[in-house]
Amino acid sequence: MIRCEWIYLNFCSGEEVISEILLWMSDNFIKEYNADSIVKIINQTIQRMWMQWVNAHPNVAERYHNYKLNFKRNGRLNLKPYYIAGLIKSTKKYKEINIKEIRSDKQLMKDYRERLKSRRDKLHQIYDWHSHFD
């Protein structure tokens, strides 16, 4: 546990995380578990505790939420792979497929990216994008 990154952030101690995990497991009547489920529970618990800590500190919360918004905006503007994979997953045809399988299909990702780029090019020809501040 000492090597975990969240301990260095100083928003909670290892004992608090373990107690939260044990409480969650007892609330959900989990008595038998394997290593994969424990890792998943640890990640969910740390994420929940992190968001509670972030929302309790307004300056950090504002910076964190702005970072997330800018990350999404950058992916949308530059057609990053995670953005394209999310759009493909949202269609009816690929709803049941795992996102990792979508990202591993390079031809599908390339075709969808080209379709998005051509649609954007057509829109730029129709609308001459000028800022209203000019």
CA dist., res. 14 & res. 77, Å (int): 39
Position 37 pLDDT exceeds 70? yes
Asked if residue 8 and residue 38 are part of one domain, the reply reads: yes
Asked if residue 116 and residue 72 are part of one domain, the reply reads: yes
Position 134 in a domain? no
Asked if residue 51 and residue 86 are part of one domain, the reply reads: no
Position 128 pLDDT exceeds 80? no
pLDDT the model gives residue 126: 62
Asked if residue 40 and residue 4 are part of one domain, the reply reads: yes
Residue 4, Ramachandran bin (φ over 0: left; ψ between -120 and 50: alpha; else beta): beta
Position 100 in a domain? yes
Measure Cα distances from 52 to 4, 24, 61 in Å: 19, 16, 10
**Containing structural domain, residue 103:** 66-128
Asked if residue 73 and residue 121 are part of one domain, the reply reads: yes
Position 61 in a domain? no
Q: Please state the pTM of the whole predicted model.
A: 0.53
pLDDT the model gives residue 131: 47
Asked if residue 113 and residue 75 are part of one domain, the reply reads: yes
Asked if residue 72 and residue 44 are part of one domain, the reply reads: no
Model confidence over 14-35: pLDDT tens digits? Answer: 788 888 888 888 888 877 777 7
